[in-house]
Amino acid sequence: MDRSRVASSGVIIVLILVAGLIGGALITSYFFMKQVNDLQSQISNLSSQVSHISGNQTVYNQTITVYQNETSLTEIYKKVKGSVVLIQGETSNGTVQGSGFVYNMTGAMFVVTNNHVVQGTTSLSVTFSDGHGYEATVNGTDPYSDIAIVTVVGASQEEFQPISIVSSATLNVGDPVIAIGAPFGLVGTMTSGVVSALGRSITESSLAGGFPITDIIQTSAPINPGNSGGPLLNFDGKVVGITAAIVENSQGLGFAVPSNTILREIGALVATGTYSGHPYLGVEGSDMDYFQALQMQTNTTYGWLVGKIFSGGPAANAGVQVNDIVVGINGTAMINGDQMSSYLDEYTLPGETVVINLVRHDQPLNLQLVLAARPPPPA
């Protein structure tokens, strides 16, 4: 009896041990599988993050390629080189040379260039990128903006590859730009740079009578003699200006007449040969600054200081006085003379009435002034 109970107890103990081993194995297996699943989930999340980062990196590299890749510049050059021409002329003092570009105005083909390229020429020629040269005549000029429109005589329609002109108002400092022309006679030369500044003014005393050429684009794209009249292009290959001048010993500082000036004037230049829309104040002056303000004992350190008033001119008729400081026009602040000249050329016309915002003896003053047209440029 005792032996039977002992045997039975042994069996029960063995069964309990076996059940414990199986249960422990199941529990251990459960926790192991859970850890494996958690690890796989972490690996999947990490893979997704890596894929997302890789995708963003790909987009970034593509953006850099579009704007800085040499191939892109090559494609732009191929697209527009046929639109850029060489202009050569003879004057009483010798020969002149510059650049230009073809523009389609309502079906009629013209070449746009600088006034100073064609000024005083007795004969003129235009040579296309294929080497074919033709006689040319001056259709219209504006020395005050340094723009000229040229007509090519005898060229077939196939020679003309017009290029689009877009608004220069879209430009920002830092935007990349391209200049194409014939510096030193090297036809088809391309340079690139950025917009260095906007709204500059330059003065061409002999041709523009000392009046400023306004709203000029300053660029770091290298510009040399012979580039004058060529197009300044954005990275879509569209004209945003005409390369106009360089400053001597300026380490590559260049200027361009903005495309908005071309678009504003080209209709009149083609139709009448001239543009008479430049407003005139009848004053001379200089920019204000901190030291000038100290000398005058005024708190106004910006604006444009009136230094001379021409008798019978718009400013004299409006009651403007010497030492008045122009700080605004029509409520728009004028920081300096460049901004004032650019504003007048872009937003006003002769015959219009404007409100000149002045500071006189440290007191604000508003005067109504009727703008006149500039006198004719020097012959």
Q: Which fold has domain 75-270?
A: Thrombin, subunit H (2.40.10)
Q: Are 258 and 112 a contacting pair, CB within 8 Å?
A: no
Length, in residues, of the chain:
379
Q: Are 99 and 81 a contacting pair, CB within 8 Å?
A: no
Given pLDDT bands bounded at 50, 70 and 90, which one contains residue 248? low
Amino acid residing at 190: M
CA nearest to 187, candidates 256, 100, 129, 132 = 129
pLDDT reading at 243 higher than 60: yes
- Displacement of CA 185 from its chain's centroid (Å): 26
pLDDT tens digits for range 5-22: 444 455 455 444 444 545
The reported pTM is 0.76
The H or E element that residue 142 is part of is: strand 133-142
| 99, 168, 220, 228: the active-site residue | 228
| 146, 324, 338, 345: the active-site residue | 146
| 83, 99, 116, 324: the active-site residue | 116
3-state class (DSSP) for residue 40: helix
The H or E element that residue 80 is part of is: helix 70-80
Q: Residue 183 is encoded by which pair of tokens?
A: 């510096």
**Catalytic annotation on 146?**
yes
pLDDT reading at 211 higher than 90: no
The whole-number average pLDDT for the span 91-118 is 93
What is the CATH code of the structural domain delimited by 279-373?
2.30.42.10
Domain ranges of the chain: 2-68, 75-270, 279-373
Pairwise pLDDT comparison (379 vs 155), residue with the higher score: 155
Beta carbons within 10 angstroms of residue 290's beta carbon: 9
Q: Residue 14 is encoded by which pair of tokens?
A: 């063995």
pLDDT tens digits for range 297-328: 999 999 999 999 999 999 999 999 999 999 99
